């Protein structure tokens, strides 16, 4: 069955079509959930909630543009909505440079290690970092999605980068002394 037909069948709550859509996109969507979650359990919860939202809203897909892009955006928006509902926003006022440069030797840092470091960031820093660095959103887009000021987005990104830089430097200095 073609993707367009699967989408139309999903809009009619066809469970076989939903299962096929799930199987087609589960891996990519779960990796998004891991990126935006602080641990695997939270990622699994976000993944489940995101798929429920996708299947509830699949009738709104208008067959313009990429379906994969659409479901990824629904997944990210579902996670951000959960985050906004549970988060009390704290304003960060410290001065941090716009750019933090991290000198990373690719042989020393694995992708899994970096993902773990990102997952350890405080929720807001992690969300802003992922949206800006990994998804290419502007600070204006982030401020609208997260309902924060653009300056707060910039500050959170800078703080996230500073934390990651510090953890990477600690890790690298520990490896060099061994």
Which own/partner contact pairs does 20-23 have at CB distance under 8 Å and 24+ positions apart? Answer: 21/54, 21/55, 21/58, 22/51
Distance CA 34, CA 37 (A): 5
Q: What pLDDT band is residue 92 in, cutting at 50, 70 and 90?
A: very low
Contact 30/43 with Cβ under 8 angstroms? Answer: yes
Radius of gyration of the chain (CA): 19
Three-class DSSP category at 23 = helix
Q: Token digits for 92?
A: 């960060």
Contact 156/131 with Cβ under 8 angstroms? Answer: no
Contact 50/79 with Cβ under 8 angstroms? Answer: yes
Distance CA 127, CA 157 (A): 9
pLDDT tens per residue across span 33-61? 998 888 899 999 999 999 999 999 999 99
Q: Look at residue 55 in the predicted model and tell me its pLDDT.
A: 95
Predicted TM-score (pTM) of the model is 0.67
Q: Look at residue 83 in the predicted model and tell me its pLDDT.
A: 81
Contact 17/10 with Cβ under 8 angstroms? Answer: yes
Q: Look at residue 112 in the predicted model and tell me its pLDDT.
A: 81
Q: Domains along the chain?
A: 3-86 (1.10.1740.10), 111-176 (1.10.10.10)
101 pLDDT higher than 60 = no
């Amino acid at each position: 069955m073609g993707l367009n037909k699967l989408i139309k069948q999903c809009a009619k709550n066809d469970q076989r079509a939903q299962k096929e859509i799930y199987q087609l996109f589960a891996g990519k969507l779960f990796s998004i959930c891991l990126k935006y979650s602080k641990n695997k359990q939270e990622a699994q919860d976000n993944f489940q909630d995101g798929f429920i939202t996708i299947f509830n809203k699949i009738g709104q897909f208008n067959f313009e543009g990429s379906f994969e892009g659409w479901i990824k955006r629904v997944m990210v928006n579902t996670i951000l909505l959960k985050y906004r509902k549970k988060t009390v926003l704290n304003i960060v006022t410290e001065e941090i440079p716009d750019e933090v440069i991290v000198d990373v030797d690719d042989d020393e840092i694995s992708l899994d290690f970096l993902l773990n470091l990102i997952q350890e960031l405080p929720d807001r820093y992690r969300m802003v970092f992922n949206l800006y660095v990994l998804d290419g959103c502007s600070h204006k887009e982030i401020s609208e999605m997260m309902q924060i000021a653009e300056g707060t987005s910039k500050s959170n990104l800078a703080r996230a980068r500073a934390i990651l830089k510090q953890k990477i430097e600690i890790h690298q200095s520990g490896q060099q002394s061994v």
